[in-house]
Amino acid sequence: MDQRELALSAFVATASGDRQARLSGLEKLAGGAIQENWSAQLTLHGAHRPVVIRTDAPSGVAASRTRAEEFHLLKAAHGAGVAVPEPLWLCTDPSVIGKAFFVMARVAGTAAGHQVVKDPAWGGDRTTLAERLGAELARIHAVVPPRPDLDFLGPPPAHAALDRVATYRDWLDAVGRPHAALEWGLRWLERLAPDPAAPVLTHRDYRTGNVMLDQTGITGVLDWEFAAWGDPMEDLGWFCARCWRFGVDGLEAGGLGARADFYGGYASVAGRPVDDAAVRYWEVMAHVRWAVIALQQGERVLGGGETNLEAALTATLVPQLELEILRMTKES
């Protein structure tokens, strides 16, 4: 057992109250520019359980949420009955492994977007899956302010849609080059912003690619680092937006299922029907948001001389996002 495993085991023994508890078989998982994930085996009260240890990546890229905040978000979601990897223990003491980390259950399956849309073996029956995806989202939205455990989220925006428009305009201005199609989309979003909804916990990256699936259904909703108080329809729009269907455009619920089934699953938990017009509004917002983020990715390559082909190619998605925005905002 190496130093790190000894330190982690000592932490888990204290945190769990089981003096025999230990973490072993640490293995670094692929991916993650901002976070670093390690798989490990937890031995607790004599039983074994696969877990993930999540911590910051050494690159120190400014993340939107700290690991501690992410842990509290997972706790809140888990408490609301959302399918998430069960959060176990948080350690903010840097003396254990040199940085904050938390331990969560390891869920089985895959999240990879291109893979799950192509292979129907993932996620089980697609009607049931689309309903489940809607239902999980409605459970997230059942978390509402005030929540002292989530006070790091700050006060809810007075008008989520207009708040987003202002933010994306700022981001666009920071990029510096004129993008008429995105201005067009932002002006449309500003003019036609729906009345503000009562704020709920929104995931803000709920889409195919961030939901772990196994052969029978959903095993865990991942990537909580963008979560914020907001308009619930923003999450439905992000999920249904064409740019997140991974090429399977006919299945409007994330390339995985029918929009009607997704709405139906959401309504069954939320207790009210989904306002389709509101979702379509937020789909335009989704394309604008993704386009501005893609531009920022391109800037990393142009500005800093960083050789990151993936970021450079992400920026080449902007024209198709713009095309979609212009088509969706055709009036009369």
Partner 1 sequence: MRHAPTGADLLDVARRQMLDVLVPALPAEHRYAALMVANAMAIAGREMRNGAAGQEEELWALSALYGEVPEAEPGDPQAMAQALEAIHRQVCADIRAGRMDPHRPEHDALRATLEELAQDRVAETNPRYLSGT
- Tell me which residues in 189-208 interact with partner 1 (CB under 8 A): 191
CB of 293 to partner 1, least distance (A): 17
How far is residue 15 CA from its own chain's centroid?
28
Q: Which of 89, 171, 184, 226 binds partner 1 (CB under 8 A)?
A: 184
CB of 115 to partner 1, least distance (A): 12
302 binds partner 1 (CB under 8 A): no
Per CB under 8 A, which region of 53-61, 87-95, 150-158, 320-328 contacts partner 1? 320-328
**Under 8 Å between Cβ of 284 and 292:** no
**Under 8 Å between Cβ of 248 and 154:** no
110 binds partner 1 (CB under 8 A): no
Beta bridge partners of 24: 41
Per CB under 8 A, which region of 47-55, 72-80, 175-183, 271-279 contacts partner 1? 175-183
Contacts of 147 (CB under 8 A, 6+ apart): 76, 153, 201
Measured from the CB atom, is 32 or 264 closer to partner 1? 32
28 binds partner 1 (CB under 8 A): no
CB of 252 to partner 1, least distance (A): 14
Nearest Cα residue to 256 out of 82, 108, 115, 137 = 115
Nearest Cα residue to 231 out of 291, 164, 290 = 164
Q: Which of 180, 271, 305, 307 binds partner 1 (CB under 8 A)?
A: 180
Measured from the CB atom, is 3 or 332 closer to partner 1? 332
CA distance 117 to 71: 29
CB of 211 to partner 1, least distance (A): 21
**How many C-beta neighbours within 10 Å does residue 257 have?**
25
Angle at 285 between CA 116 and CA 34, to 5 degrees: 55
Size, binding site for partner 1 by CB under 8 A: 29
| φ/ψ (deg, to 5) at 230 | -175, -165
How far is residue 282 CA from its own chain's centroid?
16
**Under 8 Å between Cβ of 109 and 201:** no
Binding mask 227-266 for partner 1 (x = CB under 8 A): --------------------x-x-----------------
- Which H helix or E strand runs over 26? strand 22-28
CB of 288 to partner 1, least distance (A): 13
313 binds partner 1 (CB under 8 A): yes
60 binds partner 1 (CB under 8 A): no
322 binds partner 1 (CB under 8 A): yes
**Under 8 Å between Cβ of 81 and 143:** no
Which parts of this chain interact with partner 1 (CB under 8 A)? 169, 177-181, 183-184, 186-187, 191, 247, 249, 309-310, 312-313, 316-317, 319-320, 322-323, 326-327, 329-332
